[in-house]
Each structure stands twice: as C-alpha cells, then as structure tokens.
Amino acid sequence: MRVRGLRRTALAALCVLIAVAAVASACTGSAKTNRTTDPTPSWATPSVSPYLTGRKADISYGPSSSQKMDICYPPTRSESTGAFLFIHGGSWASGDKRDFASLCGVVARLGYVGATMNYRMFGELATYADMLADIDLALATYSDTAREDGWPLSKVALMGASAGGYLALMYAFTRRPAMPVGFVVALSAPTDFTDPAFAGSADSATYDQLSTLLGVDLSKDSMDERKAALTSASPAFRVPPGAPPTILAHGAKDSVVPYSNAVHMATQLALAGATYDLLTYPSSDHNLADDPDVSNRFLTLVLAYAARYLT
C-alpha cells in the first residue's frame, strides 16, 4: 500500500515536471532538428533530478566496452518490482544510455526499477541481430544484478526512441526474453522498411545504414531483390500471436521515419488482436517536440500501462 501511495502521489508531480520540460524545449526552437540527428524526445531529459535511493553506473553485461548499463533503484522496496529498460536512439550509430538517464530516475521515483543501456552499433559492424543479442545479455544482467541488490524483478517494459524503439519492438516480437515483457513503448520508430514512403525519401546514406543493419548489400536498385530480408527485419511484419501491449508515438510531420510506418504498425497489431495505442503528434517532426499536450497524454498512458502490465 505504501508503494502504491507513493506512485499516486508522485504521478501528479511527474506530469507537471514533464509538462514544464516539454514546453521549455518547444520554446527553445530545438524542434527544428530533422534528418541530421535521431534525437531522444525532449521530455526524456527533464532538468530536475528526482530523488533516488540507489544508482549503479556502467555495469558491464558483455566483453565490449559498449556493452554497459546503468540501473536506478526506487526509494521503497517491495517483494516484486516492475522494471523499465530504456534503449537510446541515434540511427544505430550514435547516442548513449545517458539520453534516458533522467527518465530512468523518474520511473524509479515512482517505485519501478529503471535501467538504461548502451549496445554495440555500426562502429563495431553490429547488425540488428547483434543488437537484439545485446538486449538479451542486458536483461539477464539486469535481472541478476537487481536480485543480488535485493530487488527481484517481475516484468519489464521495453522503451526506446527511434532506432531504440525499433530494437524494443523487434526484441519483444522475435526473442525469448530473459524476463517477461509487460509492454513495449516505441517513439518515432521505423517499423516497415518496405514502406514506399520510406523508400521514396531514402538517400545513399539510408541504404548504407540499412546494409549495415541487415548485414546485406542494399541499394535503390536491389530493394525488390532484398524484399525478404527487409520484411524479416521490419517489426510490422513480425507481430506474433500474443504480442505484448504496445504504445506507439509518432509525429505526423516526421521527415526521417514516415508516419505511414506507425499506421502500418498499428494495423498489424490490430490484426493480431494485440492491445495497443497509437499517439499521433500532429505538429511534430521526428523529435516529437511541437506537441507538449500530446507528450503529457503520452506519459499518462505509459504510467497507466505500467500500473496494469508490470504488476
């Protein structure tokens, strides 16, 4: 009862915190960032640091220097605790676990254990299969470390931005997780590499990225030839029976990942009978920075999913 009361009390304060952070970001003009970066949404890095009882940084979960994670612990213990794992964006080539550091602390303040991870990227010639294997290792280390520290984890929510959202979806749909996945959250995530709108806006850099991600040579002329590989690597085509509840958040004006990707992903979830919500940011580009009212509704929805699916 004490933990539940803490979550209820903190919810109102958290919503205010995120609203202020989102409005402040929108006023700075950062929303004009488009194709040159793959940013984590502004609300994921509020300026106010929450109180925590414990934080472990740079926990190694594999031999590579990039295979590290941070864990944030809540102020109140419970016999079994729901968890979040945050996966940063950056076009599978950049970004860092620190991108979600503040949000990791926020969910810990609400009584959940939080973790944010780095993973092998294009600099190490990692494919999406390698990145999914890293999530396997990270979840196993996360579960073991938390248990050793007195926090047995019951279920985990996977949450990622853009490239990280893609990995969260692919992992939830295609792998046997080290701990049960309660739900998935994907922001501005690519979900269908065969989408004509995606192919229509692709340039040579995009094809280079896809070649590395899939581990096959891709060009504009070979897209039809490689359709099977593109389909296999697209979350929209990998939704299994019994898929975990899913939240999609996408900007209608996204110039990096077409909004049609989110629509197709939602359609496939509906056809599979999965529980899902698609939140559209009508005025936002890839970084979801121009619709603070939707950001607030998004956070409320995430916390509602957590209360229902992480218990």
Start-to-end CA distance of the chain, whole Å, equals: 13
Give domain status of residue 211, yes or no.
Answer: no
| Contact predicate 250/283, CB 8 Å | no
What is the CATH number for 290?
Answer: 3.40.50.1820
- Domain membership of residue 41 (yes or no) is yes
CB count in 10 Å sphere of residue 63: 7
| Coil, helix or strand at residue 2 | helix
In a domain, 99, yes or no: yes
Domain assignment of residue 160, yes or no = yes
Q: Which tens digits make up the pLDDT trace of 6-65? A: 444 344 344 334 433 432 332 323 333 433 344 455 545 444 444 445 889 999 999 999
3-state secondary structure of 41: coil
Low-confidence ranges of the chain (pLDDT < 70): 1-53
Which of 247, 283, 302 lies closest to 114 in space, CA to CA? 302
* Total domains present in the chain: 1
Q: In terms of pTM, does the model score above 0.75? A: yes
Structural domain includes residue 227: no
Q: List the domain range (segments joined by +) for residue 169.
A: 2-192+234-309
Question: What's the pLDDT at 307?
Answer: 94
Confidence at residue 173, expressed as pLDDT on a 0 to 100 scale: 98
Alpha helices in 187-226 (DSSP H): 196-201, 204-214
Per the CB < 8 A criterion, the answer to whether 112 and 306 are in contact is yes
Asked if residue 223 belongs to a domain, the reply is: no
Q: Is residue 305 part of a domain?
A: yes
pLDDT value, residue 31: 37
What is the rounded distance in angstroms from the CA atom of residue 104 to the CA atom of residue 77? 17
228 falls within a domain: no
CB-CB contact of 75 with 6 (8 Å): yes
The pLDDT of residue 219 is 86
Q: Which residues contact 293 (CB under 8 A, 6 or more apart)?
A: none
pLDDT of residue 222: 86
Q: What b/e sequence results for 180-208 when a residue is b if at least 16 CB atoms lie within 10 Å of its CB, and e otherwise?
A: ebbbbbbbbbbbbbbbeebeeebeeebbe
